[in-house]
Structure 1
Amino acid sequence: MELRRQLTAEGHDAGPVTIAWHLAEQGLHVPSTSMIRRTLHEAGLITPEPRKRPKSSYLRFEADQPNETWQSDFTHARLADGTDVEILTWLDDHSRYLISCTAHQPVTGDTVVNTFLTAIEQHGCPASTLTDNGRVYTARFGGGRNAFEYLLPTLGVTQKNGSPWHPQTQGKVERFQQTLKRWLAKQPQPPTLAVLQELLDRFREYYNNSRPHRSLDRTTPAKAYAATPKALPATAREQNHYRIRYDRVDQAGRITLRRASKLHHLHIGAQHRGTRILAIIDDTTVTVTALETGEILATNTIDPNRNYWRNTRKPPGRWPGGSQ
C-alpha cells in the first residue's frame, strides 16, 4: 500500500504487476499479483472499472528484434506561462525502449531528421521507421518528398506510414505518450523548455530502467532492448556518425563544406546549378541529393588533404577553374 501511494504520487504506473516488481527489486517477499490486487481493493486504493475488452481479442504486432522498427510521434505540452511546446518521441517497437524524447518549439521536419541522426549515433540505425502521415514525416499527400524521406533510403532504412485516421497502427508510441503525460501532470509545470527537457531526461531514465512492462514479461525496456541482437538496415553501413546540411549548388556546379576549420569544394555538376540540396555527411562520404526530387546528385569522398573533392558518380575530368 505504501508503494501504491508513492508510485501514484510520483505519476508512475502503480498496478499489482509494477508493485510486485518493485518488491522483488528490494529483495522483499513478493505475494501473487492477485493477492496484491485484493489487498489494494480492500484498502480502497483501487477504483473498480467497467469490464474491458479482453487483451486476447486484440491483434498485436511486434518487431522480432531491437532496432527492427522505431515508432515516432509528437505530442503537445505547456510551460508554466501557457506557452505551447511539442515533445518528439522515438520508441523501439520490439522492446518499448525509449530511444529519444525531446522538447521543441515546435517540431519541424529538420527536428525529425536531426533527432533521428542523433539517435542512430547512440543506438545504431534501425531497419525501418513507423510514423503517422504528419508533414514532418512525409510529404506524399502534398506532392514530392521531405528531408526525412530523402534521408531514409540513403541509410537503407525502410519507411512505413500508418493508414490515415488510424492511430492504432502507432499504438505503442501513442500509449507511451499517455504514460508520459500522466507523469508530467504530477510534476511542477516547467517554466522553460530546458527545464522540461530535464524532466523528460529524468522520465526516460526511469521508464527504460525502473518500470517493468507487462508485454515484456515484466522486464524493463532497457533489459529487453539489450537481450537480443539488433536488426540492421537492408543496406547496412559501417559509419555511425552523420550530420546534414542544406545548401544550393553554385554557378560553378559546386557546394562548399567546412570540415575541421578547413573549407572544401565539392563538385556536383554544372547541370545542377541553383538546385537546392540536402547533404548527408558521415565519416568518409558526403552524399548530395536534390531537395525537390530526392535524386542522388553526387557522392564525394572525404579527403582532408585536398581542397576539391570530385563527384565519384561521374568519371574524372576537368572542372571549371582547374583540373583534377
Structure 2
Amino acid sequence: MNSPNRNMAIVRAVREQKRSPSKVAKHFGISRQRVYQILNAFDAGGAQAVAPKSRAPHTHPQAVPDKLRADIVTIRRQLTRHGLDAGPETIAFHLERDGKRSPSTSTIRRILAKEGLISPEPKKKPKSSFIRFEAAMPNECWQADITHIFLADGTRVDVLDFLDDHSRYLLSITAASAFTGPQVAAELTRLITTYGPPASTLTDNGLVFTARLAGRKGGRNAFEKVLYTYKIQQKNGRPGHPQTQGKIERFHQTLKKWITARPPAKTIGELQEQLDEFRDYYNIHRPHRALGRRSPHHSYTTGPKASPSDNPKQEWRTRNDIVWDNGKVTVRYAGKLFHLGIGRAFKRQKVLMVIADNHVITSLAETGEVITEHYIDTARDYQRPYWKQGDPPQGTK
C-alpha cells in the first residue's frame, strides 16, 4: 500500500528493510537523531504518532466571523427579494454603510458560493475585457430607448426612457400603450425645457428616433426636427448592434428585475406609479458601482454640464405630386402629414415641390412656373399658402 507519510517510510526502511539509521538519515536528508526520535514515537504511539501534523495556525485573526457571514447572506437575500442588485460589491457597500467590517469582494463571493446563492460562470466574459465608453460631462449625451413590460393580464405596455450617459441619471421614464414619433419628440422637448439641451443623443434606428432607414420619404421625423432646432448632434447605433446603447440596455435589466419583484400592475396608471417609485430609488437612493458608489442624482447635479455645439445642415428635398380635385397636395414634415392649399384651378395637374425644412415652393411640373409658397405650421393640419401665383411678397416671412 502506498503511503504519503514520510515518517512511516523512515520506520519501514529501518524496521522492515533492516537498513541502518545512519544510511536512512542520509537518504532522507535528516539527522540520525531525528531518525531515532521518529522510531521512538512509533514504538510509543504507532502510525498515528508519526503522522504529519498540520502547519495551519491554531487561530485565524482574519477569518470572517459567523455573525458577519450571516449578515452577508441576509443582505444578499433581502436585496434579491426586492429585485435589487445583490452582487458582492453592493453587499460590501451595505456592510460599510451599516458600520460593519466588509471583507474583500472575492471573500464575499466565496461565502455566497458556499451557501449556494451564486453559481460560478467560468465562460462569462470578464468585465476587464470590455472597452468602456462614457461621456465626460452631464448632458454630453442622452441615451433613449423603448422597452416593454407586461401588465397582470398579459397586456404589453411600451416604456420610453431617457438616460444621461455620464451620470446614469434617469431623466424620465414613461409608460404608454404605444409611442408615436410626435410623442417621443414632445417628451424630448419637455426634457430640454427642464434640464437644458444635451450636446448629443444616442438611440437605435427605430422610426420614432430617425427616418434615415426609411428611405427619407418624409424627410426628418419629429425627433430629428427637435434635434435640428436645438443644434443637437444625433448618434444612432449600427443596426443589429445593441451593444452601442449598452448603458440603457443594462439599465433595462435593472428596471425589469425591480419590476418583476413586485406584484404585476393591473393598469398603465398603476405601472406608471411603480416606474415613478423606481426612478426616485434609482436616481437618489441606489449607489451606482460605475460612479464610485455615488448616486446618479449626485453625479448629474454636481459640476458643469455640456451644451450643444453641432451645426446641422439644412434639409433639402423634392416631391412630385398631383393636385387633388379639392386643390390640395400633401407633404410629410417632422413625421406628420400636412395638407397644402394650392387652388382648385390647378386640380389634376402635376406639380414639383422644393422643400427646405418647413419652407415649400410649388411649381407646375410641365412649365416650371412657381404657383405657391408655404411655411408649414405644425400646429395645424391645413396649410394656407404664404402667397399664390404672381410676384412673391417683398421680404421674408
Say whether the fold is shared (TM-score over 0.5).
yes
Distance 1:58 1:41 in 2: 25
Q: What corresponds to 1:201 in structure 2?
A: 276
**Deviation per residue, 1:100-141 (Å, 9 max, x gap):** 111011011122112112222222211100001100001112
**Deviation per residue, 1:218-267 (Å, 9 max, x gap):** 2222222223211111279xxxxxxx9x8968869xxxxxxxxxxxxxxx
Distance 1:123 1:77 in 2: 27
Distance 2:122 2:378 in 1: 53
Q: What corresponds to 1:137 in structure 2?
A: 209
Q: What corresponds to 2:87 in structure 1?
A: 15
With normalisation by structure 2, the TM-score equals 0.60
Contact 2:145 2:204 in 1 (8 A): yes
Instruction: Determine whether 1:30 maps to 2:95.
Output: no
Query: Which of 171, 180, 185 is matched with 1:99 structurally?
Result: 171
How far does residue 269 in structure 1 lie from its aligned partner after superposition? Answer: 9.7
Q: What corresponds to 1:157 in structure 2?
A: 232
C-alpha change, 1:316 and 1:146, in structure 2 (3 Å) is closer
Query: Which of 214, 230, 243 is matched with 1:168 structurally?
Result: 243
Equivalent residue runs for 1:268-287 within 5 Å? 271-273=372-374, 276-278=376-378
Q: What corresponds to 1:282 in structure 2?
A: none
Moved over 6 A (4+): 249-252
Equivalent residue runs for 1:100-115 within 5 Å? 100-115=172-187
Distance 2:275 2:175 in 1: 8
Q: What corresponds to 2:304 in structure 1?
A: 229
Distance 1:120 1:25 in 2: 36
Instruction: Determine whether 1:78 maps to 2:153.
Output: no
C-alpha change, 1:45 and 1:27, in structure 2 (3 Å) is same
Contact 1:18 1:211 in 2 (8 A): no
Aligned residues: 264
**Deviation per residue, 1:17-46 (Å, 9 max, x gap):** 111222333344333323322322222222
Q: What corresponds to 1:240 in structure 2?
A: none
Contact 2:189 2:226 in 1 (8 A): no
Contact 1:66 1:94 in 2 (8 A): yes
Distance 1:278 1:13 in 2: 45
How far does residue 151 in structure 1 lie from its aligned partner after superposition? Answer: 1.2
Root mean square deviation, CA, Å: 3.0
Structure 1 unaligned runs (5+)? 237-243, 253-267, 280-287, 292-296, 299-313, 318-324
RCO greater where, 1 or 2, for CA within 8 Å and sep 6 or more?
Answer: 1
Structure 2 unaligned runs (5+)? 1-72, 312-333, 343-358, 362-371, 387-393
> Which moves more between the two structures, 118-127 or 79-88?
118-127
C-alpha change, 1:33 and 1:132, in structure 2 (3 Å) is same
> Which moves more between the two structures, 80-89 or 44-53?
44-53
Distance 1:110 1:26 in 2: 47
- Matched to 2:113, the amino acid is H
**Deviation per residue, 1:271-295 (Å, 9 max, x gap):** 444x65436xxxxxxxx9xx9xxxx
Q: What corresponds to 2:114 in structure 1?
A: 42
- Matched to 2:280, the amino acid is E
Distance 2:87 2:232 in 1: 37
- Matched to 1:278, the amino acid is T
Distance 1:224 1:116 in 2: 21
Aligned sequence identity (%): 52
C-alpha change, 1:23 and 1:155, in structure 2 (3 Å) is same
Q: Secondary structure at the match of 1:278?
A: coil
Query: Which of 32, 47, 66 is matched with 2:138 structurally?
Result: 66
Instruction: Determine whether 1:188 maps to 2:263.
Output: yes
How far does residue 159 in structure 1 lie from its aligned partner after superposition? Answer: 0.7
With normalisation by structure 1, the TM-score equals 0.73
